[in-house]
Amino acid sequence: MRSVSPFLPSDPLQESRRLPLPVLLNQVVSQEAHRHELKLAYVRAIVLLISLGLDVAVFLFPQPLIGQAQVPPTVMIISLCASLFALGLIRMLQRAPTPVSLGLGQCAIPVFDSLLLWAFITNIWRVLGASQPLIISNIAAFCCLLAVSGGMRLTRRASLLTTALALANFLYAARLFGLNLAIALFAAFTILGTGFVGMGMATIVRRHVKNEAGRVVMERFLPRPVVEAAFEAPLDLLQQPQRCEVTVVVTDLRDFTQFAEDQDPQAVMDFLNRYQGWLAGLVEQHGGWVDKFMGDGMLAVFGAPEPLDDHAERALAAAIAMDQAIHQISPLAMGIGLHSGPVVAGCLGTGGHLEFTVIGDTVNVAARIEAMTKQHPHALLLSQATAQRLPGKPLKSLGEHPIRGRLETVELFTLSRPGRAV
């Protein structure tokens, strides 16, 4: 018997959905933290570039701008170095998140911001400390920004770190500028309060990320429009079944029971995971969704809950892709049946257990057509109702056939090129 080789779609989104759920959830949190860190990096760079422009202007024209004969170049040099570092940080964060970049956001980057603020305070004190002591108010504002920035990093640890660094910088500035003790304490408590606001922001953001992670988990079981409805208007999802025109695709492996008898149960489970993941990937790539897996069988729907004008074309394209590549994932042949018609899509069940599914005779006929591939030398069969929605496609009629459980016969079609024998 041939060995089973994994065949995975090249779509990164589908590949990511095959990751174990804990890994996938951690990936969602990491990506969200990375996006927030990148936003902070842009803000930091803009502030530093504006500060660099002001420092250059003050260095070139100190008398008219600040009323001093000259300004030491260290202020401009430090500002230039900090701006270059900030731009380099943006460049690094624009790449995909890595453990290194995520670790920098939790500790190293806040420390860098603190050292930058320390250098700013020191230089401002040297240049303007004696002539304009009220500059301490600007320093307090920068300390508040540093304190609240920890809330964008999704962890209380980052918020505590940025708050502590902000307080340390302000107390350093208060000592340099000889600030009155009462005023210094008032400002310090303001900075501390800002830090607590940052911690609250971190909690809010974490809840947002958990919601996004919940969406990721639910998309493993439900089509994306249903997930969106569940989050935005859950009562509508429960109370409003939809009538849709769809194409249903049913697949089944041949002789799977005999195949499973000769295999270890764990090997069978691993095979089904790869096989079903491969099927789901092809269905989703073509705009459909998997209603359910039935052991080695699958029921997929194109055209619900979101209507698709070309649902039959998408379903046929997915079926052809399955038929052409099944030998790469399975040593067993596969039968595929397609039928188009009306269904009702909605939640089935009670409060104890709900399942989003499609109900209707269209589903039953598709299953019957798939079963008929066992008696035909064609792995892919479709009904006249589907063929009528595929003008110009290379199809040939196989004549009228009785359908088990129905009085009427159904005209079956297959691809006009010779089918692969089952």
202 falls in which pLDDT band (50, 70, 90)? confident
> Are 194 and 169 a contacting pair, CB within 8 Å?
no
In the beta sheet, which residues pair with residue 299?
250, 292
Tell me: do 246 and 209 sit in the same domain. no
Residue 420 lies in a domain: no
Banded model confidence at residue 238, pLDDT cuts 50, 70, 90: low
- The proportion of the chain whose per-residue pLDDT surpasses 90, expressed as a percent, equals 29
Is residue 235 in some structural domain? no
State how far the Cα of 274 lies from the Cα of 299, in Å rounded to an integer: 17
pLDDT tens digits for 370-397?
999 988 889 999 999 999 999 988 899 9
Tell me the CB-side half-sphere exposure of residue 27, using CA atoms within 13 A: 13
Residue range 272-296: mean pLDDT, rounded: 89
Q: What is the pLDDT of residue 156?
A: 81
- Shared domain for 197 and 314, answered yes or no, is no
Q: Which of 218, 249, 273 is the last residue of a domain?
A: 218
Structure tokens at 267: 């090997």
Q: Does residue 310 register a pLDDT over 90?
A: yes
- pLDDT at residue 235 in the model: 57
Number of domains the chain is built from: 2
The answer on 154 and 253 residing in a single domain is no
CB 52 within 8 A of CB 58: no
Give percent above pLDDT 70 in the chain: 79
* Residue 287, phi then psi, degrees to nearest 5: 90, 10
CA angle, 129 then 134 then 138, to 5°: 95
Q: How far is CA 290 from the centre of its chain?
A: 19
Distance between CA atoms of residues 146 and 138, nearest Å: 13
Return the closest-CA partner of residue 50 out of 163, 132, 142: 142
pLDDT at 168: 94
Residue type, 71: V
Burial class (CB in 10 A: 0-12, 13-18, 19+), 378: buried
Q: What is the mean pLDDT of residues 246-253?
A: 96
> Residue 63 falls within a domain, yes or no?
yes
CA separation for the pair 193, 109 (Å, rounded): 22
Q: Which residues contact 373 (CB under 8 A, 6 or more apart)?
A: 335, 336, 337, 379, 380, 381, 422
The reported pTM is 0.56
Pairing of strands 380-383, 334-350: parallel
pLDDT in tens, 66-84: 777 887 888 788 889 889 9
For residues 190 and 152, state if they share a domain: yes
Q: Please state whether the peptide bond connecting residue 305 to the residue before it is cis, i.e. omega within 30 degrees of 0.
A: yes
Tokens of 262: 């000769």
Kindly report, residue by residue over 6-19, the tens digit of the pLDDT.
333 333 344 444 55
In this prediction, residues 242-248 reach a mean pLDDT of: 91
Are residues 200 and 296 both part of a single domain?
Answer: no
